[in-house]
């Protein structure tokens, strides 16, 4: 497990590292719930680390990278348990002249479907709406 720093107590374990590499050290079917907020592709850049999902050159490459996160989540999550993701549509530009949006929630649902049984359908997943500091959000579970 590639961990930069960690703290392990009786009640919790915190690991600082690339989530894909860190999850790679977890046993299969060992997690009940994952809850997280991923980068919204390149909307904001958080670090200059090439492992940072926000540093992919375009939306398609970001989704390919993010697919490894979802694959690991599927491997480590116990059957019947949950993953929740803070997510929203992503603006394609900022000109104010009809820039359009990427359907990021839809694409994340699609990535989850690709990791599941062959007959998995996007309609098997719920979308919820809410509000937070960033505005409207949705998650797929």
Ligand X SMILES: C[S@@+](CC[C@H](N)C(=O)[O-])C[C@H]1O[C@@H](n2cnc3c(N)ncnc32)[C@H](O)[C@@H]1O
Chain residues binding ligand X by CB under 6 A are 18-20, 37-39, 46-47, 51-54
Spatial separation of the C-alpha atoms in residues 32 and 26, rounded to whole Å: 13
Q: How far is the CB of 97 from ligand X (least distance, A)?
A: 27
Q: How far is the CB of 82 from ligand X (least distance, A)?
A: 18
Q: How far is the CB of 28 from ligand X (least distance, A)?
A: 20
Spatial CB neighbours of 15, under 8 Å, sequence gap ≥ 6: 1, 3, 5, 6, 22
Q: Which CB atom, from 45 or from 124, has the smaller least distance to ligand X?
A: 45
| Helix axis angle, 104-115 to 59-76, nearest 10° | 50
Q: Please give the distance of CA 107 from its chain centroid, rounded to a whole number.
A: 11
Determine the residue with CB nearest ligand X. 46
């Amino acid at each position: 497990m590639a961990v930069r720093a960690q703290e392990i107590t009786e009640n919790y374990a915190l690991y600082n590292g690339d989530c894909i590499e860190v999850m790679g050290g977890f046993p299969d079917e060992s997690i009940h719930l994952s809850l997280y907020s991923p980068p919204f592709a390149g909307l904001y850049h958080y670090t200059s680390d090439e492992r940072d999902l926000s540093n992919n050159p375009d939306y398609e490459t970001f989704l390919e990278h993010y697919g490894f996160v979802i694959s690991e989540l599927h491997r480590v999550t116990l059957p019947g348990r949950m993953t929740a993701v803070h997510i929203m549509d992503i603006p394609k530009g900022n000109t104010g002249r009809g820039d359009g949006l990427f359907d990021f929630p839809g694409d994340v649902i699609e990535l989850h479907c690709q990791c599941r049984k062959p007959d998995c359908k996007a309609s098997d997943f719920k979308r919820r709406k809410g509000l937070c500091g960033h505005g409207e959000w949705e998650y797929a579970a």
